[in-house]
Amino acid sequence: MNAECPVCGAQIQLAADAVQGELIECPDCGTELEVVSVNPPQVKEAPQEEEDWGQ
């Protein structure tokens, strides 16, 4: 299964056992991506975790 990186356009090979919600990294640009669909294969930029300063 191949998906396209939304940041750099590289083709990313998804594992055969990839699941929705899985986090992967683009091998070309290093962006953290989230698998949003496995059929058809589709990824999006993963949300950035924000610091929680105890507020």
Task: Give the tens place of pLDDT for each residue, 12-39.
Answer: 999 999 999 999 999 999 999 999 999 9
pLDDT at position 44 over 70: yes
Per-residue pLDDT at 11: 97
pLDDT reported for residue 53: 63
Among residues 13, 40, 37, 16, the alpha carbon closest in space to that of 26 is found at: 13
> CA-to-CA distance for 41 and 3, rounded, in angstroms?
5
Token duo for residue 8: 């750099």
Q: Write down the architecture of domain 2-45 according to CATH.
A: Single Sheet (2.20)
Whether pLDDT at 7 is above 60: yes
